[in-house]
Amino acid sequence: MSEIEGEFSNVLPAAGESTPEILLFQKYELGKLLGYGAFAKVYHARNVRTGQSVAIKAVSKKNILKGGFTAHVKREISIMRRLHHPHIVRLFEVLATKTKIYFVMEFAKGGELFAKVAKGRFSEDLSRRYFQQLISAVGYCHSHGVYHRDLKPENLLLDENWDLKVTDFGLSAVTDQVRPDGLLHTLCGTPAYVAPEILAKKGYDGAKVDVWSCGVILFVLNAGYLPFNDRNLMVMYKKIYKGEFRCPKWTSPDLKRFISRLLDTNPETRITVDQMTEDPWFRKGYEPIKFHSDDFEFKIHDEDEKFLNAFDIISFSSGVDLSGLFSESDFSLRGERFVSEESPDGITEKMEQFGKREELTVTKKKDWGVKLEGQNGHFVAMVEIYRLTEKLVVVEIKRRESEVGPSTEIWKDKLMPQLNALIYEPVTGD
């Protein structure tokens, strides 16, 4: 990583300015500012190798730590890495310098859906088309244990074909955040789109609050204004809690009935995503999206084997170790990685045998991992194996940096030769 890459954050372009002379990681040519939020700015960029347009979200590490957003950003990375759907903005890779983290994402040329509906309401057919695309994406998220929790037109983008793309998963929740009562308890979301059960502060079902937000979005697309709105926030909340809204006169009876099922203040009786696909209004012209994600995630053939998906492979690239993105100080362990044809069990066994020969303390870790300790704590090495393909694995070694001494000799003269013997050497033609 060059020094320029670590410092160029001070000269990022202002809104509307183009800066073709600035290259991020010698790969992305930065363009104009597309938008900004509380602690991030999004720029248009071009991959100089392929010519592909991308959006790059630049996040300041300092602001993340200062504002307590570490979990927020980690969660967004974790969530976006697992989602691959035609109507969800795709995350290509995550890059980092000393001062910033960069999300390299799919570029939605059409901009925000909000900008389009702000110019005037949509026809019922167009509203239905976008709502069907939205529900396809939301249903997919829910099936993968992800609940967006901040769905609104500003977080819905349009691509060059004017198809919808859901973005901004920073407030999303995942299944492991659900408490023992089966509910989420974090207060979040945008006031006008928030579900009544969130206001009640008694816990809520993430899927059901997303459905409510989708109902508000559908109302806005058809009406051109919000169903619940008031200058006084508490008055607006009371309207939401009571479900007080009125559809405009041009709304068809079928759409009125459908919206009332979406904006049902009782989450227990509110329509579900599965039930929507059976509704007459929703089903008109609806074609379920069929797609394959094999190019994004390797299939798991054995529950006991841990495979890497495409995002993990990207993360193993030079300079993209996410483990250190959020640390205020440097890690005491240095990481080394290589690809091997040896089986995970075979590598684990070799490391155990090595540890016993050198009289080291050997600790087996979950899945495929071995920790080696010795020399009164001066020698510490962790070896972890990840399945890459049916025949290849990635071996990651983390070791504690040490001064010259016996621990360095164990590493250089004894462990390194064993590891080097495991490195995969691809056969290439003449």
The residues assigned a catalytic role are 150
Per DSSP, the residues of 208-238 read HHHHHHHHHHHHHHHHSS-SS--SSHHHHHH
**Measuring CA to CA, how many Å separate 281 from each of 11, 128, 219, 288, 378?**
51, 8, 14, 15, 68
Asked if 30 and 24 touch (Cβ cutoff 8 Å), the reply is yes
CA distance 293 to 291: 7
Crossing angle of helices 124-143 and 206-223, rounded to 10°: 170
Cβ of 351: how many Cβ atoms within 10 Å? 28
Angle between helices 206-223 and 253-262 (to 10 degrees): 150
Enclosing H/E stretch for 379: strand 379-387
Give the angle subtended at the CA of 114 by the CAs of 112 and 116, to the nearest 5°: 85
Q: Rg of the Cα trace of the chain?
A: 25
Tokens (6 digits) for 261? 């099922």
Name residue 203's amino acid: G
Helix, strand, coil % in the chain, rounded to nearest 5: 35, 20, 40
- Terminal CA-to-CA distance of the chain, rounded, Å? 32
Picking from 113, 124, 135, the residue whose alpha carbon sits closest to that of residue 248 is 124
CA distances from 153 to 138, 214, 221 (A): 14, 10, 9
